[in-house]
Structure 1
Amino acid sequence: MSTEEHLKLANIIKEARQEKGYSASELARRAGLQPSTVTRIEAAQLQHPQPETLIVIAHALEKPTSDLFACLNWLPKEQLPSFTPYLRAKYADLPEQVLEKLENHVAKVVRRYGYETNGPEPGQDEF
Structure 2
Amino acid sequence: MSIEEHLKLASIIKEARQEKGYSASELARRAGLQPSTVTRIEAAQLQHPQPETLIAIANALEKPTSDLFACLNWLPKEQLPSFTPYLRAKYANLPEQVQEKLENHVAKVVRRYGYETNGPEPGQDEF
Kindly tell me the number of residue pairs found equivalent between the two proteins.
127
- Over the matched positions of the two proteins, sequence identity in percent amounts to 95
**1:125 Cα deviation from its structure 2 partner:** 1.6
**1:26 Cα deviation from its structure 2 partner:** 0.7
SS of the aligned residue for 2:10 comes to: helix
**1:89 Cα deviation from its structure 2 partner:** 0.4
**1:112 Cα deviation from its structure 2 partner:** 1.0
Q: Which runs of 5+ in 1 are unaligned?
A: none
**1:114 Cα deviation from its structure 2 partner:** 0.7
**1:85 Cα deviation from its structure 2 partner:** 0.5
Query: Equivalent residue for 2:11?
Result: 11
Distance 1:102 1:27 in 2: 34
Q: Which runs of 5+ in 2 are unaligned?
A: none
Query: Equivalent residue for 1:88?
Result: 88
SS of the aligned residue for 1:81 comes to: coil
- RMSD across aligned positions (CA): 0.8
**1:122 Cα deviation from its structure 2 partner:** 0.6
**1:72 Cα deviation from its structure 2 partner:** 0.5
Once the two structures are superposed, what CA deviation does each residue of 1:78-126 show, in whole Å capped at 9, x if it has no partner? Answer: 0000111000001100011111111111111111111111111111122
Distance 1:11 1:48 in 2: 16
Distance 1:15 1:100 in 2: 30
Distance 1:62 1:72 in 2: 19
